[in-house]
Amino acid sequence: MGRPAHQNVMRTPSGQKSRSKEALGMAERLELEAATWKRRQVFPDLTVSEARLPEYGSVIARWHQDWKALCKRNPDGAHETMFSEMHKDTAERYHALYHRWMGAISAKSPRSSTDFSGAGGFDGADPFEESRAERDAKTEADFKAARLAILQSGSLGMMAVETIVIENRPVDSLRGDLRLALNSLARLWRMLE
């Protein structure tokens, strides 16, 4: 019977997985095309090249680009929609930590119909390997410390981080709470020094 065939991969005429340069980046190209199509559905006036820019796919990147544009027009003004480079970097770092934590606890994240990558969750590695256990324990400790810092930042900090950073939804009313949570994380990770 053998192993089940991998889906969404290019194959040679004999049925083997293709190792050509064209085949290697196929999953990434398909994801980019699907994301471009989705973004153009939401913003029909976008060109294809604009829809491939990160600020149209990520709320955090868009808020950062909007803030940079405001600062160019009025560098000395106080902008209530501030979202600095530090905020963007901290949010991206938390997002990466969240995904490492999901892998450490072997949680499967929900998949989109346009997700052509492999299934998440259990990766088949030996769970009793010492380096993996140490790495997972460090990830869990880092995530707990980050979560505590977010919870101490204010009453809506965790809701803002989960909604905007993890779920990628633009909730402008939580922007201030998100900045407070990200400032707390930046202090924890010593990004402000």
The model's pLDDT over 105-151, given as tens digits with 9 standing for 90+, comes to 877 665 555 555 555 545 556 667 778 888 889 999 999 999 999 99
Looking up tokens 């965790």 gives 158
Residue 106 pLDDT: 77
Asked if 117 and 32 count as a contact pair (C-beta separation under 8 A), the reply is no
Asked if 10 and 23 count as a contact pair (C-beta separation under 8 A), the reply is yes
Q: What is the pLDDT confidence band of residue 180, given thresholds at 50, 70 and 90?
A: very high
Asked if 39 and 47 count as a contact pair (C-beta separation under 8 A), the reply is no
**pLDDT of 5 above 70:** no
Higher pLDDT, 86 or 43: 86
Taking the alpha carbons at both ends of the chain, their separation in whole angstroms is 58
Higher pLDDT, 165 or 133: 165
Q: pTM here?
A: 0.70
Tokens in use for 34?
């699907």
Residue 19 pLDDT: 73
Q: Is 6 helix (H, G, I), strand (E, B) or coil?
A: coil
Cβ within 8 Å of residue 2, ≥6 positions away: none
Asked if 35 and 114 count as a contact pair (C-beta separation under 8 A), the reply is yes
* CA 54/CA 166 separation, integer angstroms: 16
* CA 52/CA 39 separation, integer angstroms: 8
* CA 50/CA 38 separation, integer angstroms: 13
Higher pLDDT, 38 or 70: 70
